[in-house]
Amino acid sequence: MTTSEGRKAIGVDFGGTSVKIALVDDHGRILQRKRIETKDLPNQDAWFDTVCKGIDELKGDCDVRGVGVGVPGFVDHERGYIYELPNVPGWTGVRMSSIMEDRLDGLRVRIDNDVNAMALGECTFGAGRTYQHAVFVTLGTGVGGGLLLNNRLYRGAFSMAGEIGHVSIDKEGRVSPQGKGGVEQYVGNRRIVEHAVRLLEEGRTSILDDLCGGDRSKLSPKIIKEAANRGDGVAYEVIDSITDSLATAFASITYILQPQAFIVGGGVAEEAELLFKLLRLHLNERLSPYFANRIEIKTAELGSEAGMIGCATLALIE
Amino acid sequence: MTTSEGRKAIGVDFGGTSVKIALVDDHGRILQRKRIETKDLPNQDAWFDTVCKGIDELKGDCDVRGVGVGVPGFVDHERGYIYELPNVPGWTGVRMSSIMEDRLDGLRVRIDNDVNAMALGECTFGAGRTYQHAVFVTLGTGVGGGLLLNNRLYRGAFSMAGEIGHVSIDKEGRVSPQGKGGVEQYVGNRRIVEHAVRLLEEGRTSILDDLCGGDRSKLSPKIIKEAANRGDGVAYEVIDSITDSLATAFASITYILQPQAFIVGGGVAEEAELLFKLLRLHLNERLSPYFANRIEIKTAELGSEAGMIGCATLALIE
């Protein structure tokens, strides 16, 4: 995607206890940033006051094109409206864009789901910048996604398209409120750890117990990745299983959308050479050669800044 | 979708042994039609001569906007090029649009995959005409699909997006050249019959043997639908299983694309009230209530004319 030249925008990455704000230029570079603690603010009014004051300070005399806000939940992008943030109480039915625009002297405010914002950032300035059609996937507590189709973020009829975590990989699989067999029931952080613990409880030999100091409650995807890199059989089996589950969902998505690439980010995907190697292998097994030869899998490039940059991109390009 | 007013176009529905041609107006109505037998034509040159002569005759003095051709296979829509038609030998690497344009005095020729053309027809003039985002699905020998996103046919990076038949519903499921557990391995015509035969071979009581005159090789989806309507337990179980498999794929597609509706056509979906009822039921079980309440499932309206009308639509609107 391309942006208007010589312009800047402010990205606001909404978190449950703090907000990260950045001034971003039209090359996706962060020029200035600040973090605002919000957990002790008494109410939503105070939240808007404090965050908008922070935006004003960061903006200074700079001519910015607008503000983009990414929130963890359901929004109506067109209307700038928050339906609900499942993990942040009190944010149901909020006219966020107009409330902020009022406090920011009419500066234009765009909002979106946070994963959509990250997808937009990665596909404009990061690993997806050369594609017209790409699928952004983030691996963490859950599995999130965003779709770049025909060079634009595709939001679907309800602003939340790309909910890849709920793509079923097993008709009779694990049940969740969203259905059966959703891929995030197999590859979310907690599921990864549970899988390793299950294998350990079967009495399998592994260095995982050493790495977590004998306390299995301390096991994490990071430790499992490290063990797999060191040749641990149990850890390898877990990574192999995750990647095959992901590959199943990716193959389905490929047949539906025929993207040029998957861009994979999030904690689980960081420093994860083995994970990407096995993902590629399993995806190839699950696609006809025509597609296997054409679909790329790339690591996201913007890391922990993807949120801020992506949010700013909402205001830079749309 | 909307078309240019007062214009007409010619739709060419390419079959392996015959070609159906229709003159279609901008309300999607067929004004005139003809069928050309092509199986005895000596070569491709003769095919082009005969079909283009047929188009010329049908066109007469009428001012047409162009010709749309739907072919059963892989095309490059932009270049008007056939990569391959898997079930029609000899059609590999054919510059179809320019060959036909040369024979038709420069009349514009657009080509596409036949299911894409049908999807476009249904979403312009049929059951999908009121939606911006809809998924067209055709149930027959296999399961095909086409995507209407943001009011346009979405083709993906390789002109063949919407290959719903290969969406996996079971990570460890039936193997095909396209992967594992593709939904068409469970709901294609042949699979439906195999499923019924399997249940009969287990010794289940059923009226199916009566309906096919004791010759199980004569069993068809049509007979199975009829038996299910008459309360036959075996037939009901088959329809229940098909619809649950389809619902699994539809749920995945819903989470990815958030369409407003699925438009379902093809032989299996004709006169299939029970099938639609069970499909709705199973889809609701597999979606969060938010989506279950919003996604519609509709029967395709253009029936056997969907091909010709859809092909003409390629030339009417794009």
Nearest-by-CA chain B residue for A248: B171
Q: Using the beta-carbon criterion (under 8 Å), do B256 and A154 form an inter-chain contact?
A: no
Tens-place pLDDT, residues A203-235: 999 999 999 999 999 999 999 999 999 999 999
Q: How far is B209 from chain A (nearest CA, A)?
A: 30
**Touching check for A62 and chain B: CB below 8 Å?**
no
What is the pLDDT at residue B106?
Answer: 87
Tens-place pLDDT, residues A78-88: 999 999 998 89
Q: Using the beta-carbon criterion (under 8 Å), do A179 and B287 form an inter-chain contact?
A: yes
Q: How far is B63 from chain A (nearest CA, A)?
A: 33
Q: Please tell me which of the candidates A156, A177, A178 has its beta carbon nearest to residue B133.
A: A156
Low-confidence ranges of chain B (pLDDT < 50): none
A181: chain B residues, CB-CB within 8 Å: 248
- Residue B84's Cα: distance from chain center in Å? 18
ipTM above 0.90, yes or no: yes
Helix-strand-coil split of chain B, %, nearest 5: 40, 25, 35
B161: chain A residues, CB-CB within 8 Å: 256-258
SS3 B153: strand
What is the pLDDT at residue B158?
Answer: 84
| DSSP string covering chain A | ----TT-EEEEEEE-SSEEEEEEEETTS-EEEEEEEE-TT-SSHHHHHHHHHHHHHHHHTT--EEEEEEEESSEEETTTTEEEE-TTSTT-SSB-HHHHHHHHTTT--EEEEEHHHHHHHHHHHHSTTTT-SSEEEEEESSSEEEEEEETTEEE--TTS----GGG-BSBTT--EETTEESBTHHHHSHHHHHHHHHHHHHTT---SHHHHTTT-GGG--HHHHHHHHHTT-HHHHHHHHHHHHHHHHHHHHHHHHH--SEEEEESGGGTT-HHHHHHHHHHHHHTS-HHHHTT-EEEE-SSGGGHHHHHHHHHHHH-
Q: Using the beta-carbon criterion (under 8 Å), do A256 and B259 form an inter-chain contact?
A: no
Q: How far is A291 from chain B (nearest CA, A)?
A: 9
**Touching check for B149 and chain A: CB below 8 Å?**
yes
Q: Using the beta-carbon criterion (under 8 Å), do A255 and B166 form an inter-chain contact?
A: yes
Tens-place pLDDT, residues A160-184: 899 999 999 999 999 999 999 999 9
What gap in Å lies between CA A222 and CA A232, rounded to an integer? 14
Q: Using the beta-carbon criterion (under 8 Å), do B248 and A166 form an inter-chain contact?
A: no
B285: chain A residues, CB-CB within 8 Å: 179
What is the pLDDT at residue A139?
Answer: 95
Tens-place pLDDT, residues A103-154: 999 899 999 999 999 999 999 999 999 999 999 999 998 999 999 999 999 9
**Touching check for A156 and chain B: CB below 8 Å?**
yes
**Touching check for B110 and chain A: CB below 8 Å?**
no
**Touching check for A256 and chain B: CB below 8 Å?**
yes
Q: Please tell me which of the candidates A164, A169, A251 has its beta carbon nearest to residue B256.
A: A164
Nearest alpha carbon to residue A268 among A141, A104, A156: A141
Q: How far is A180 from chain B (nearest CA, A)?
A: 6
Domains of chain A: 8-122+305-317 (3.30.420.40), 130-300 (3.30.420.40)
> What is the average per-residue pLDDT within A267-285?
95
